[in-house]
Structure 1
């Protein structure tokens, strides 16, 4: 595939995030959400904690909370961060052919996924159209429904609705009539990550949406609850394995598709954002 056909693209939705393009360097990621990685041309090398060794493959599925290393060798790769409650992960895990430790590799219909993502790379569709494609890909063979405790769902919604505020664990626990230790245990049991990491992950999403709406990176980060741009950059490096400037620099430009205030979708070249 000609990797010069299109720039990198980043699609943002409330339940999923989808990146497609060339990763500028190997990534060491601290998973805050389940993730599917699909290489469109050459094999990528992936390794997850408890896996024991690196594996060369074209598709891999990781659960939330894992430490993951991905080296795409400058090939085109699709990274889809899945719904935090795990239904996407459950469906896709049932469609993988091999399991190594806590990592699933090699989709049964790998060529079908590669073909669908290659079309996106050549001609990025509207967000609604791509979301429908992902729904069809991820939910071909539904696994058993993932049951989510309504108390956990309520806490997630509370975090989203007050993203700029550091609502305390005590306040969150009180709102659902649980002790703090029980809330911490229940939340991690359902989402695979602590509340703090999930909140950081959601703040990265909100920051990216703010940038797509025309705010500067600093303005968007502060509005999302980061104390300053350094706080945002440190969180970005921890969770995504690179500095924001590495992904958002002119050399690795990213087109960002995100929901706008009036419900429309905005397209922005991220090289308009100053480096951090």
Structure 2
């Protein structure tokens, strides 16, 4: 029997974001961050590049446009770190690839059972983060062949430092010591999406974190640089794939945490 008081867990950390609960409608996604999806109750139906992928677990790269239909099953969704290290680790453990979708995690049955336990117990954020760490990097060693680009790390840091301000790409490029075309190219190469798309994604993170800390949705969205609630709602749906009301409108049904 599922918890009566909490049906959705939504936990936000600086490195990862995690959702665990049912999805009442298909996700229509334009991927702003790579994510791992594991269904607890039945197969996922993923539509990408005019193909259908049916699976229980999938790794979705940033920049991919797709639809995910869970048929109202509960799912664990982990938005992975922006620099791609989580994705690099998990990619080697997926059995197949089709239409840009990697699927068939090597221990998906164990993962589904563990996520089910976390959901039924309304697990605390520290428990969930520890499990995600052990799932993504069980040996706690650096990812083979992966390295961070300090210039892109700096660009992301500048965007995060003043989320409500639209620092121009010219400004970012000057601070990093790159030409504008090179910064645009390198950011897309390393992060998987354009700078503007990443800025929108981070603003959603900041807005949701503000709600978790007690702000109203309107206050949190304004503090993150959204011009109005319609702007926030449109961005939320286009990036997260669902209406914000699906997640945030029923606080009694959600355990929301931000760090």
Length-normalised TM-score, structure 1: 0.88
Question: In the TM superposition, what are the counterparts of 1:128-147 in structure 2 within 5 Å?
Answer: 128-140=126-138, 143-147=143-147
Question: In the TM superposition, what are the counterparts of 1:29-44 in structure 2 within 5 Å?
Answer: 29-44=29-44
5+ residue gaps, structure 1: 260-276
Change (3 A) 1:54 1:252: farther
Name the CA distance, whole Å, in 2 between partners of 1:42 and 1:199.
Answer: 34
Change (3 A) 1:116 1:250: same
> Once the 2 structures are TM-superposed, how far is the Cα of residue 252 of structure 1 from its aligned partner?
9.3
Question: After superposition, what is the alpha-carbon deviation per residue over 1:63-100, rounded to whole angstroms, capped at 9, x for unaligned?
Answer: 00111211111111111100011111111111111111
CA contact (8 A) 1:3 1:76 kept: no
- In the alignment, which residue of structure 1 is the partner of 2:82? 84
- In the alignment, which residue of structure 1 is the partner of 2:186? 186
CA contact (8 A) 1:85 1:146 kept: no
- In the alignment, which residue of structure 2 is the partner of 1:168? 168
CA contact (8 A) 1:165 1:225 kept: yes
CA contact (8 A) 1:24 1:247 kept: no
Larger RCO of the pair (alpha carbons < 8 Å, separation 6+): 2
SS of 2:51's equivalent in the other structure is coil
Name the CA distance, whole Å, in 2 between partners of 1:129 and 1:42.
Answer: 24
- In the alignment, which residue of structure 2 is the partner of 1:121? 119
> Once the 2 structures are TM-superposed, how far is the Cα of residue 178 of structure 1 from its aligned partner?
1.1
> Once the 2 structures are TM-superposed, how far is the Cα of residue 254 of structure 1 from its aligned partner?
2.5
- In the alignment, which residue of structure 1 is the partner of 2:153? 153
Change (3 A) 1:74 1:252: farther
> Once the 2 structures are TM-superposed, how far is the Cα of residue 145 of structure 1 from its aligned partner?
4.3
Runs of 4+ in 1 over 4 A off after TM superposition: 2-6
> Once the 2 structures are TM-superposed, how far is the Cα of residue 228 of structure 1 from its aligned partner?
1.6
Name the CA distance, whole Å, in 2 between partners of 1:145 and 1:22.
Answer: 36
Question: What is the total number of aligned residue pairs between the two structures?
Answer: 256
Name the CA distance, whole Å, in 1 between partners of 2:239 and 2:177.
Answer: 31
> Once the 2 structures are TM-superposed, how far is the Cα of residue 229 of structure 1 from its aligned partner?
1.3
- In the alignment, which residue of structure 2 is the partner of 1:208? 208
- In the alignment, which residue of structure 2 is the partner of 1:67? 65
